[in-house]
Structure 1
Amino acid sequence: MAVNDPAAISSAEFFDRARARLRFDIPPGLTDPDEIPASGDRGTDRMLAILSREQPIRPAAVLIPVIDRPEPTVLLTQRSAHLNDHAGQISFPGGKIDAADASPLDAALREAEEEVGLTRPFVDPIGYLDLYGTSFGFRILPTVAKVKPGFDLRINAAEVDDAFEVPLAFLMNPANHQLHSKEFRGVERFYYAMPYNERYIWGATAGILRVLYERIFTP
């Protein structure tokens, strides 16, 4: 198998690569409207530039909880159907960064505990991924973390309908990264989707997972 084949890399190798490639440096674009997160797609970059002039930046943080099982999994949530933003969608634990949060990492850990009861003793933070911008004006800073098995989840029904695990090897396999498109003010923009069984993972969540793949599994 190829060296960068996710199915050929052990749990320990994944976390070693993540620690070697990720840091806790906070990008200025998290709060600076003049710094536009680069998506790699011209249409999306143009959309983000337009939105940054039209609405306030909404700094947010999410946790990418990679569970250290013999075959690692990623913990995802399905957001409650009544929420104002991204209702019913597949997401990472996370949300907006509050003034009381010491850092984006602190916000991600707080939200994970509030949403699904994932407590901090089980979470070993590794580092931040690249900043990710969305069409709702959010600037999301994801934290990759190694999660020790043995936790008991407590779902907060006010925010989350369900929490579930997806094999990391599936999410990191580029063959499962479907590329879709839609129009935004006359410009075509692209987004990823990664359907898994009955779960439709798409939009920002799939886009962030694609960034994780590119950071960890490409030279």
Structure 2
Amino acid sequence: MSSAEFFARAKARLSFDVPESLTDASIIPVTGDAGNDHMIQVVAQERPIRPAAVLIGIVEHEQPTVLLTQRSAHLNDHAGQISFPGGKIDATDASPLEAALREAEEEVGLDRSFVDPIGYLDLYATGFGFRIVPTVARVKPGFALTINENEVESAFEVPLSFLMNPDNHQVHSKDFRGVERSYYAMPFAERYIWGATAGILRVLYERIVQK
């Protein structure tokens, strides 16, 4: 799929309608990842909802890339893991989009003038109580990043073609409270992309590329 076709499909299939499940505890989201969905069902009974937003920034090079970060090792949540720029939705954020743009500026210094938002991907819930609204956006090349080392160790780009190739979507497993749960992983060079980040990328593939 060409980058032009990818962006055209994304614009046709996504919107900025905020899903009710972002804040409605009675709605248990389904991610399509059986292992993750089992964990969500368990944790939904124990933890309050933690609304969050991330930016799936697709950099419009001749061969598009996805902007990712490696989180700082000292953080309480997902320390050292590969992630999208993003974080919790604050009361002062007008929308999940505004939260994603703000967090991208705070974490890696991505100037929003380079970002062309396209729409929200399906809400993605995690076993830590987060309910994440991923914002898909086209990012113009030429930006300069300033890494906030309190939040992330580094930022890097991975070819979109690699991430949207189902041959690279591995299914790994680990124990969760005595039950083996599965999750997606997309190892790239020395980077181990897994968990919510890989799960969201899988949803992006299913929503935009596969259909």
One-letter amino acid matched to 1:109: L
Partner of 1:200: 192
Deviation at 1:186, TM superposition (A): 4.2
Q: Give the conservation status (yes or no) of the 8 Å contact 2:171–2:183.
A: yes
Between the aligned partners of 2:6 and 2:154, the Cα distance in structure 1 is: 26
> 1:86-125 alignment to 2 at 5 Å?
86-125=78-117
Between the aligned partners of 2:178 and 2:26, the Cα distance in structure 1 is: 23
Task: Give deviations 1:99-134, integer Å, cap 9, x for gaps.
Answer: 000000000000000000101110000000111111
> Where has structure 1 moved over 4 Å in runs of 4 or more?
none
Partner of 2:50: 58
Q: Give the conservation status (yes or no) of the 8 Å contact 1:182–1:190.
A: yes
One-letter amino acid matched to 2:209: F
**In the alignment, structure 1 residue 82 sits paired with structure 2 residue 74:** yes
**In the alignment, structure 1 residue 10 sits paired with structure 2 residue 7:** no
Residue aligned with 2:43, SS: helix
Identity among equivalent positions (%) equals 75
Aligned pair count reads 211
> 1:1-219 alignment to 2 at 5 Å?
9-219=1-211
Partner of 1:6: none
One-letter amino acid matched to 1:72: P
Between the aligned partners of 2:189 and 2:159, the Cα distance in structure 1 is: 12
- Return the TM-score normalized by structure 1: 0.93
One-letter amino acid matched to 1:61: A
RMSD: 1.0
- Return the TM-score normalized by structure 2: 0.97
CA spacing shift, 1:33–1:19, aligned 2, 3 Å: same
